């Protein structure tokens, strides 16, 4: 890695809380990163582990269930994301509208006509109002009873539509299951209408806080918004930006760390692989080993680069290195693997 590339990676690792002081709680991690991809529940919890110290997966569940400081819903690129409850309203208003067309297309592909989709959303809203919180299997029962198609991916996309409408989110954990709730019941009344220009400015600022330095195209890809919207948001905060010589931008006044991360295990779909148009600075020539058919595997990070993958069966962590580890690195990874096991098993882990 060249000196300039290493400098950029070091700064991004610091922005991602993978270098420097760890965050104190799950909500602080999510506040920094703004939205953590969460279609893999264990991966989202491991993203919190890597950026904190001494917490447990159960602490993430508590933030979802007791504190209500975090929720999960479809945002940004149309995948499930873990976000702060305080950020739900403006992110949902900003990013959900661009997802309706793809959702309607998928519903049609899954054999759910528009009328059936509307009936399904009404069933979800009524069931959550009368019986919520409800897990996905319970909502499936309600939809089947109402004659709404649920085969294949139909159920997912009916729930997706209810979430895009701002009706439902994934809120509390019920044992090992993540339950849906009505937004109005779980988070209370919505704030005043979201001003789009202010939301774009907040998006740009918060994205850079957790991902800078970056480009306008990086922001657009991460948020799932048109490039024009990304540029509009960045222009709105131009006075807060450092325009770098390499064409990247970052928030002004940030320290420039030079240290890269020590050996650690990152989970599936870790934010470090999802924040920019290119993953090459992290995965190098190993992209096909880390990302397979849209699945982002758990990987080993040493010196700011992916040097292997890992898996966990029961309480056994197995490392698959891309090359031999130095003894000190191998020892550090054994320690971190033990912490992964502690994090996931010292409390309730969600399936």
Q: Are 83 and 35 in contact (CB under 8 A)?
A: yes
- Please tell me the distance from the alpha carbon of residue 114 to that of residue 130, in angstroms, as a whole number: 24
Rg (CA), the chain: 20
- Please tell me the distance from the alpha carbon of residue 56 to that of residue 342, in angstroms, as a whole number: 7
pLDDT of residue 350: 38
Beta-carbon neighbour count of residue 218 at 10 Å? 21
Q: Are 265 and 317 in contact (CB under 8 A)?
A: yes
- Please tell me the distance from the alpha carbon of residue 7 to that of residue 126, in angstroms, as a whole number: 53
Q: Tell me the CA distances in angstroms from 104 to 140, 160, 222, 274, 326, one per residue in order.
A: 19, 10, 22, 25, 51
One-character DSSP codes across 284-299: GGGHHHHEETTEE--E
- Please tell me the distance from the alpha carbon of residue 99 to that of residue 96, in angstroms, as a whole number: 5
What are φ and ψ of residue 349, in 5° steps?
A: -100, 135
Question: Which tens digit of pLDDT belongs to each residue from 74-101?
Answer: 999 999 999 999 999 999 999 999 999 9
CA atoms within 13 A on the CB side of 65: 18
SS3 146: coil
Q: Tell me the CA distances in angstroms from 37 to 8, 73, 82, 234, one per residue in order.
A: 23, 10, 6, 23
- Which ranges of the chain have pLDDT less than 50? 348-351
- Please tell me the distance from the alpha carbon of residue 49 to that of residue 60, in angstroms, as a whole number: 9
- 239 CB-contact burial (10 Å; exposed 0-12 / middle 13-18 / buried 19+): exposed
Q: Tell me the CA distances in angstroms from 83 to 60, 92, 259, 275, one per residue in order.
A: 12, 10, 28, 15
Q: Are 39 and 57 in contact (CB under 8 A)?
A: no
Does the domain made of 196-251 have the CATH classification 1.10.10.10?
yes
pLDDT of residue 262: 86
Tokens representing 254 are: 């940030």
- The contacts of residue 241 (CB under 8 Å, 6+ apart) are 208, 234, 249, 250, 251, 252
- Please tell me the distance from the alpha carbon of residue 42 to that of residue 289, in angstroms, as a whole number: 20
pLDDT of residue 204: 98
SS3 278: coil
Q: Determine the length of the chain.
A: 351
SS3 209: helix
Of the chain, the end-to-end C-alpha distance in Å amounts to 37
Q: Tell me the CA distances in angstroms from 69 to 65, 82, 172, 187, 336, one per residue in order.
A: 8, 10, 10, 9, 27
Give residue limits of the domains in the chain: 21-187, 196-251, 264-345
């Amino acid at each position: 890695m060249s000196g300039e590339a290493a400098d950029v990676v070091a700064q991004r690792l610091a922005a991602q809380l993978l270098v420097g002081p760890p965050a104190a709680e799950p909500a602080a991690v999510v506040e920094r990163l703004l939205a953590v991809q969460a279609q893999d529940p264990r991966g989202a919890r491991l993203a919190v582990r890597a950026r904190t110290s001494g917490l447990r997966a159960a602490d993430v569940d508590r933030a979802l269930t007791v504190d209500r400081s975090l929720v999960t819903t479809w945002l940004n690129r149309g995948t499930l994301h873990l976000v702060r409850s305080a950020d739900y309203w403006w992110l949902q208003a900003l990013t959900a509208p661009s997802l309706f067309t793809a959702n309607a297309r998928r519903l049609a592909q899954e054999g759910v006509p528009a009328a059936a989709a509307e009936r399904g959303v009404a069933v979800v809203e009524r069931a959550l109002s009368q019986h919520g919180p409800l897990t996905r299997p319970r909502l499936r029962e309600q939809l089947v009873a109402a004659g709404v198609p649920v085969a294949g991916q139909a159920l997912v996309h009916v729930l997706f539509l209810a979430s895009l409408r701002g009706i439902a989110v994934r809120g509390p954990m019920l044992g090992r299951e993540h339950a849906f709730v009505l937004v109005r019941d779980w988070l209370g009344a919505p704030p005043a209408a979201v001003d789009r220009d202010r939301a774009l400015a907040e998006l740009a600022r918060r994205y850079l806080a957790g991902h800078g330095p970056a480009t306008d195209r990086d922001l657009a890809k991460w948020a799932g918004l048109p490039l024009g919207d990304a540029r509009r948001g960045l222009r709105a905060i131009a006075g807060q930006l450092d325009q770098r010589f390499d064409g990247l931008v970052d928030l002004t006044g940030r320290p420039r760390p030079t240290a890269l991360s020590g050996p650690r295990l990152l989970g599936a779909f870790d934010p470090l692989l999802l924040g920019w148009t290119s993953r090459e600075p992290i995965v190098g020539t190993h992209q096909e080993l880390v990302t397979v058919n849209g699945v982002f595997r758990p990987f080993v990070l040493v010196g700011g680069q992916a040097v292997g993958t890992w898996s966990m069966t029961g309480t056994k962590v197995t490392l698959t290195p891309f090359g031999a580890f130095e003894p000190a690195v191998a020892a550090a990874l054994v320690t971190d693997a033990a912490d992964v096991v502690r994090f996931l098993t010292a409390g309730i882990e969600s399936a």
